[in-house]
């Protein structure tokens, strides 16, 4: 893509377009805005593919970060743009639902999410799928801000371990905290 290969760009759209649009639509209530978010994110990649740093993770996570950032900023730009909790469709049930190559088994991400303590799952999903700041999450859940931050970190740490992610030199790749709140 750095050489201006538009075929590579279109392949990237094919590979990650569904996931990226699903993310934007999860955050935003307006599909047209979600598509605009997607368009801007992909064009940012096309404009400057050299900005990708393998040391910072996969292309997938880089692109999803761009999409999520734009989606949450769009959601925060005005009232009524954010999809409210409870309005969003449920997570997909199996790993095979998204494409023909899927095996149809239980989606490991969904399984791992469901295994989280309620408080951790709620805090993480509000922040990521809902596009809320941690302070907003605290207001929504009634939990103290410090507890929300701890829950989010603990949830991400657990998922990192459960999903078998490799270490990238950060706090999540170190021996994990496994004590779950008693709830």
Partner 1 sequence: MSGSAPPRGEEHGALDELAVGWALHALEPEEETLFAAHLPGCSRCRGTVAETGEVLAALAGALPAAVPSDRLREALRAAAGDTMQVPGRPAPGAGVPDGASPGGASPGGDTGRPGPETVPTGFPEPFVPVAGRPAVPPTAWRRVLPNALVATAVAAILALGTWNVVLSTARDEARATVARQADVVNALLTPGRATVVPLSGDDGAPVATVVTRNGEVQVVNHGLPVNDPGEVTYVLWGTSDGAAVALGTFDVVSPRMDLQAVGSAATGLDEHDGYGISLEPGRLAPSAPTDIVARGEVTN
In the region spanning residues 17 to 46, those forming contacts with partner 1, defined by CB under 8 A, are 17-26, 30, 32-40, 42-46
Exactly one of 79, 86, 142, 169 binds partner 1 (CB under 8 A); which one?
A: 169
Q: Is 82 in the site for partner 1 (CB under 8 A)?
A: no
Chain-centre distance of CA 3, in angstroms?
29
Q: Is 120 in the site for partner 1 (CB under 8 A)?
A: no
Exactly one of 83, 107, 120, 122 binds partner 1 (CB under 8 A); which one?
A: 107
Q: How far is the CB of 84 from partner 1 (least distance, A)?
A: 16
DSSP H or E run through 68: helix 59-76
Exactly one of 83, 119, 152, 183 binds partner 1 (CB under 8 A); which one?
A: 152
Quickly count: other Cβ atoms within 10 Å of residue 42's Cβ.
20
57-76: contacts with partner 1 (CB under 8 A): 57-62, 64-70, 72-74
Q: Is 85 in the site for partner 1 (CB under 8 A)?
A: no
Q: Is 156 in the site for partner 1 (CB under 8 A)?
A: yes
Q: Which residues contact 44 (CB under 8 A, 6 or more apart)?
A: 66
Number of residues that bind partner 1 (CB under 8 A): 124
Tell me if 82 sits within 8 A of 27, measured CB to CB: yes
Q: Which residues pair with 147 in a beta bridge?
A: none
Q: Is 110 exposed, middle or buried (0-12, 13-18, 19+ CB in 10 A)?
A: middle
Q: How far is the CB of 36 from partner 1 (least distance, A)?
A: 5
Q: Is 87 in the site for partner 1 (CB under 8 A)?
A: no
**Residue for token pair 């599909």:** 31
CA–CA gap between residue 37 and residue 53 (Å, rounded): 22
């Amino acid at each position: 893509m750095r050489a201006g290969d538009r075929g590579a760009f279109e392949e990237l759209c094919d590979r990650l377009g569904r996931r990226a649009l699903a993310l934007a639509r999860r955050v935003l209530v307006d599909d047209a805005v979600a598509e605009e978010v997607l368009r801007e994110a992909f064009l940012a990649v096309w404009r400057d593919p050299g900005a990708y740093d393998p040391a910072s993770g996969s292309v997938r996570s880089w692109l999803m970060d761009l999409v999520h950032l734009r989606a949450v900023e769009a959601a925060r730009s005005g009232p009524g743009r954010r999809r409210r909790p409870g309005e969003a469709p449920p997570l997909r049930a199996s790993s095979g639902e998204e494409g023909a190559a899927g095996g149809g088994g239980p989606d490991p991400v969904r399984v791992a999410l469901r295994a989280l303590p309620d408080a951790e799952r709620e805090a993480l999903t509000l922040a990521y799928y809902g596009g809320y700041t941690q302070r907003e999450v605290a207001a929504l859940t009634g939990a103290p801000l410090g507890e929300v931050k701890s829950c989010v970190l603990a949830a991400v740490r657990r998922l990192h371990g459960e999903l078998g992610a490799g270490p990238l030199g950060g706090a999540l790749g170190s021996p994990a905290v496994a004590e779950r709140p008693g709830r």
